[in-house]
Amino acid sequence: MKNLCVFTLSFFLLEFSLILCHLTEPICFWRINNNEDNDGDLRSDCGFFLAAVEGPTDDSYNISDLRIPARRYEFFLVMFFATDEINKNPYLLPNMSLIFPINHGQCEKTLGDLDKIYSEKNYTVEFTDYICVSFGTCFIALIGPSWKTSIKLSINSGTPRVFFGPFNPKLSDHDQFPYVHQVATKDTRLSHAMVSLMFHFTWIWIGMVISDDDQSIQFLSDMREEMQRHGICLAFVNMIPEDMQLYMTRATIYDKQIMESTAKVVMIYGEMNSTLEVSFRRWEDLSIRRIWITTSQWDVITNKNDFSLDFFQGTVTFAHHVGEIANFRNFLQTMNSEKYTVNISESRLGWNYFNCSISKNSNKKDHFTFNNTLEWTTLHKYDMVLSEEGYNLYNAVYAVAHTYHELVLQQVESQQMTVPKGTFTDCQQVSSMLKSRIFTNPVGELVNMKHRENQCTEYDIFIIWNFPQGLGLKVKIGSYLPCFQQSQQLHISEDLEWATGGSSVPPSLCSVTCTAGFRKIHQKQTADCCFDCDQCPENAVSNETEICNLNMERPSLFATKAQ
């Protein structure tokens, strides 16, 4: 009976995904989470350091026995691919190899340990960096994706490093972190993109939940300004404290705020692996159904028990548009198992994409002849999709390679070969060279390590549904192009049928528009989006401005108010 239920669920889920996907642009994502841990997708950080050595290398990489969080397999696969691609390039580091030693504990959950050390000490603690380097040699380290962990690990470090997580202004303080550089693009147009989507779907009554930190507060300020220009109102703002004990004393207040609010759309902004993530998972467990609008780092599978093809249990995410790394697919398919000893099946736990058009001209019954979804997926060509963090890591590896290339040229030209080629002892020189790198990556994107602010950054817009059995479906529903004319900036798929089966998305309103013959009546201390509808006096009716005018025929209609 249990197997029958699972099969039935799988059948409807697959049918739903095929129908939904082929109506949109041909980008669909499917993930199966086989992780039995209750932590789900809770994040942990990874650290690598890169060295340039003379000649080819026969080093092998064995991570099959390491305890690596499921979603961190992507980082190792990116490191394998990027270094392999660079080492095959005869022009970038000729007659040299870019390598990265693998150590136990490279992706451990260090944040909790660091917080414990901080709380127990009343003085500055010089942390032992988990990126081990040879004494006297200045290698470049790669750190991320959590900025909190990275900051704590960088306070007393003189090692040049590239942060590959989402852009964070704290790490741009070069007085405090002179050796830390970011490869991610700054979100200069995110508030514009999100508000454009809200306005498009008539979501003008919005709840907001953010982390209580400087970056989130600045984002809230940007959103307020942009929302006011479009007549969108905030139903509530919850600022989640970073301290877990303080959060737990207020958790029920935050729960009540969301459950009692009439806002059907709630924005989430802040750091993963935090009390904000605890809140988000708590609301999912409480089956609080809302449209959650957030950023790409919140592409998570939650442990849901209920199931409903309902738009109001989806998560809408905004991600920087990135180019497809075409050779990555071939690398994974032809990976040298002797050189890269890795449990490749673990990579299936990340998002995989498939060609949504497979169902356009075929009988859908052909896709449901198997007893489980895993068997179904093995018969389709899936390609692993890089997360934003994975793409940032790819660019970070190339930034290091271009830096080493320039430093080696200086070594050769100056004929100062007192140390082996590729060995650098002046960390300040290495860091200065790194932050000024400008290059075009193999995808064709210009990467500028000195100026990571791009006013024309494009966003892809996705919706994610979580289902029981650890299944997730993610579909691209549109894009935002900030450097186009305003009327052409937002693109939403016109033929998309939503989970409810309808052709339109339900609005999120505090009050519905007053009909002809009625006028708006605002109550004191209420938002502009909230009002009552009052019948116009005799010999007066309202027009589209919802203001009563005299000497006009008044129809007999009744006011309505949003539930």
DSSP calls for 500-527: TSSSSPPPB-SSPPPPTTEEEEPPTT--
DSSP 253-302: HHHHHHHH----EEEEES-SSSHHHHHHHHHHHTT---EEEEEGGG----
Structural domain contains residue 100: yes
Residue 507 in any domain: the answer is no
Same domain? 423 vs 482: no
Q: What pTM value is reported for the model?
A: 0.80
Split the chain (563 residues) into runs of 10 and give each run's mean pLDDT.
40 38 50 47 71 82 68 85 94 92 65 48 40 65 83 78 90 87 89 95 95 93 95 95 92 93 94 86 84 86 54 80 84 79 59 50 36 47 75 96 94 76 89 94 90 79 74 81 88 61 72 81 82 80 66 42 41
DSSP-assigned letters across all residues of 61-117: EE-TTS---GGGHHHHHHHHHHHHHHHT-TTTSTTEEEE----TTTT--HHHHHHHH
Q: What is the dihedral of CA 342, 348, 352, 356, to 10 degrees?
A: 130
209 and 300 housed in the same domain: yes
Specify whether 95 is located in the same domain as 155. Answer: yes
Distance of alpha carbon 234 from alpha carbon 525, whole angstroms = 13
For residues 228 and 309, state if they share a domain.
yes
For residue 423, what are its two tokens? 């060995």
Q: Which stretches of 143-241 are DSSP H helices?
A: 147-154, 190-200, 214-229
| Residue 235 shares a structural domain with residue 162 | no
Domain presence at residue 280: yes
Residues 476 and 533 in one domain: no
Residue holding tokens 């979501």?
203
CATH number at residue 259: 3.40.50.2300
CA 480, CA 489: separation in Å to the nearest integer?
5
In a domain, 501, yes or no: no
Same domain assignment for residues 220 and 317: yes
Give just the sign of the alpha carbon dihedral 404, 409, 410, 412: positive
pLDDT, position 70 = 66
Instruction: Output Rg (C-alpha) for the chain, integer angstroms.
Output: 26
**pLDDT value of position 69:** 67
Nearest to 194 by CA among 480, 476, 454, 475: 480
**φ/ψ (deg, to 5) at 300:** -130, 155
Phi, psi of 492 (to 5 degrees): -120, 135
Structural domain of residue 308, as residue ranges? Answer: 189-321+457-492
Distance, CA of 72 to CA of 146 (rounded, Å): 13
Q: Could you tell me which residues come within 8 angstroms of residue 168 by beta carbon, excluding any fewer than 6 positions away?
A: 147, 182, 215
Q: What is the pLDDT of residue 149?
A: 74
Compute the distance between CA of residue 170 and CA of residue 168 in angstroms, rounded to an integer. 6
Residue 497 belongs to some domain of the structure: no
Does 54 share its domain with 163?
yes
User: 236 and 297 share a domain?
Assistant: yes
What's the structural domain count of the chain?
Answer: 3
Half-sphere exposure of 213 (CA within 13 A, CB side): 17
Type of residue found at 498 = W
Cis ω for the linkage preceding 442 (within 30 of 0) = no
Host H or E run for residue 248: helix 244-260
Q: What is the spatial distance between Cα 289 and Cα 141, in angstroms, rounded to a whole number? A: 42
Q: In angstroms, what CA-CA distances link 61 with 53, 65, 79, 105?
A: 16, 11, 11, 15
Within this chain, do residues 463 and 532 fall inside the same structural domain, yes or no?
A: no
Q: What does the pLDDT read at residue 367?
A: 37
Co-location of 162 and 224 in the same domain: no
Residue 25 lies in a domain: no
> What's the pLDDT score for residue 319?
92
Predicted local confidence at residue 459, as pLDDT: 94
Comparing C-alpha atoms, which of 35, 285, 238, 273 is closest to residue 146?
273
Residue for token pair 């509530």: 236
The torsion angle over the Cα atoms of residues 37, 40, 45 and 48, rounded to 10 degrees, is 70
Residue 156 lies in a domain: yes
**β-bridge partners, 453:** 186
- Residue 233 in contact with residue 530, Cβ under 8 Å? yes
Is 168 part of a structural domain of the chain?
Answer: yes
- Shared domain for 317 and 461, answered yes or no, is yes
